[in-house]
Amino acid sequence: MKSYRVLLYYIYSPIENPDQYREEHHLLCLRLNLLGRVIVAAEGLNGTVSGLAADCEAYMAALHADPRFAGIDFKVDDAEGHTFQKLHVRVKNEIVHSDLPVDPLRQTGIHLDPEEFQKLKNDPDVVLVDMRSNYEHAVGRFKNAVTFDMENLRDLPDHVHEIDHLKDKKIITYCTGGIKCEKASAYLLAQGFENVYQLHGGIIKYGMEVGGDDFDGQCYVFDNRVTVDVNTVNPTIVSTCFRCGSPSSRMINCASPTCNNHVVICETCGHDYSGTCTDACLEDPAIRPYDGTGYYGKLTQTYSPLQGFKSRSGQRVTLEK
């Protein structure tokens, strides 16, 4: 078994003082040598972190011991090492940026666990609706799902009219880990859709628990793995190389920092074109060295995991487990 873990989670649960809790949470991550991204907001908590198995277990136990976060449903995956290069714990207005005028604690779609979703997804009266960004569903999506050409969840109001004719159907929303669907499904209900469901735990949990059948391609993730396999039952490839058009589900960031597009590039073209998506990008004088992964972390020379941490006591922080 691999020695590292990746944890994906969220919870909508009121946090009275987000700034104070951000400092407490940052210190917890430092003590456990975790890296990743955590968002703290008055409405709850959202994070993806990586670390050694024992440290991840301690982290989950610490959050579950807090009554506000006892209901967190962690998605746990194995990894060869850290899937992040840095630790960032930030306070934001929302735990997933949407600007949608809804409150998931008051109303949201009916949650379906992976087994329930698996049984219902092929019902002729059901429509699956992908709530992720266009570059995410370009590399993988559920068979016959409706997708929107949107950059992020903020754009949903501009696209919801595309499914107005489906208001008599059972709508099941899905996303990577479930968090976008909490607000997206609530928004659909507010727009007059009556039978709205959501895949609880998202694509990741569906793959882990029931094998991911009928998820075509790979699932985009927000760490240095870029995409992960989900379907172990009937896997297929739905995307093609941006350069040569051959079937591929290998997504990278263009090596041109000016471009930096999320784009599917096969291994051969990645090597032949130094990880770029166009010849113009290949001529970029600031092109980044292509190492075969297509993942480029920001420069870390001045980075310290203590960045952004402020001890309220003003005393030096000792990181002891």
Note the pTM of the prediction, 2 decimals.
Answer: 0.89
- Residue 140 falls within a domain, yes or no? yes
85-89, 114-118, 144-148, 298-302: the lowest-pLDDT one: 298-302
pLDDT given for residue 293 in this prediction: 87
What is the rounded radius of gyration, in angstroms, for the C-alpha atoms of the chain? 20
Kindly report, residue by residue over 163-216, the tens digit of the pLDDT. 999 999 999 999 999 999 999 999 999 999 999 999 999 999 999 999 999 999
CA-closest candidate to residue 297, choices 1, 35, 33, 23: 35
Mean pLDDT over residues 111-131, rounded? 98
Taking CA atoms, 227 is separated from 30, 88, 144, 295, in Å, by 27, 21, 21, 11
- Residue 59 falls within a domain, yes or no? yes
Amino acid, single-letter form, for residue 78: D
Domain interval for residue 182: 110-217
Question: Where does residue 1 rank: exposed (0-12), middle (13-18), buried (19+ CB within 10 A)?
Answer: exposed
pLDDT at 18 over 60: yes
Kindly report, residue by residue over 227-268, the tens digit of the pLDDT. 999 999 999 999 999 999 999 999 999 999 999 998 999 999
Res. 319 pLDDT band, cuts 50 70 90 = low
Q: Is 269 a catalytic residue?
A: no
| 212/120 same-domain check | yes
> The domain that contains 27 carries what CATH number?
3.30.70.100
How high is the mean pLDDT of the chain?
93
The active-site residue out of 29, 56, 175, 266 is 175
Which of 39, 61, 91 is the last residue in one of the domains? 91
- Residue 135 falls within a domain, yes or no? yes
Which of 25, 60, 91 is the last residue in one of the domains? 91
| 125/66 same-domain check | no
> The domain that contains 178 carries what CATH number?
3.40.250.10
Number of domains in the chain: 3
| 133/77 same-domain check | no
